[in-house]
Structure 1
Amino acid sequence: MSTSTSTYKVSGMTCGGCAGKVTTEIGKVAGVSSVDVELATGQVTVTSEGPLDEARIRDVVEEAGYELVAV
């Protein structure tokens, strides 16, 4: 199976704890193999086993207390 990489912009992250929370929550989504957060820019890169449902990513980011914004 091929891997897929998706990049998102998350607003509201202000510290390493915020980045850790987003990483943990996105990492729980089925199929996600890694999450890389660039705190300074709010950019989140997600590697997965296949295409991800952006609505599902948005839901877990919002549940964590942050907002997924258009890239």
Structure 2
Amino acid sequence: MNTSIVVQNLKCGGCANSITTKLAEIENITDINVDVDSSLITFSHNNKVDAATVKDKLKILGYPSIDDDNNLMFKAKSFVSCATGKLSK
């Protein structure tokens, strides 16, 4: 199955690199694509549980879905994830 999630706080290639790296660590998640311009994350998975795991992981990284609250904590987490992604390129 393919799923797309529009996220908040996605700003640059550093963010995209962090997201791609962390989502690739999740079992059964493949074909990860991050479109910075549209803040769209797409991926393939086996079932709804896998998709929910990705959504939760994105939230932990500071990139909540467009449907979720975007508080200061998420914005700070996304800043750290972005910096980490830039450094690991």
TM-score of the aligned structures, taking structure 2 as reference length: 0.65
Bigger share in helix? 2
Say which of 27, 30, 33 aligns to 1:33.
30
5+ unaligned residues in a row in structure 2: which ranges? 68-89
Say which of 9, 19, 41 aligns to 1:12.
9
- Counterpart in 2 of 1:56? 53
Q: Alpha carbons of 1:20 and 1:52: their partners in 2 closer, same or farther (altered >3 Å)?
A: farther
Q: Percent identity?
A: 21
Bigger share in strand? 1
Residues in 1 aligned to 2:58 and 2:3: alpha-carbon distance in whole angstroms: 14
5+ unaligned residues in a row in structure 1: which ranges? none
Higher relative contact order (CA 8 A, sep 6+): 1
**1:34 Cα deviation (Å)?**
1.8
What CA RMSD, in Å, does the superposition of the two structures yield over aligned residues?
1.4
TM-score of the aligned structures, taking structure 1 as reference length: 0.79
Residues in 1 aligned to 2:48 and 2:31: alpha-carbon distance in whole angstroms: 13
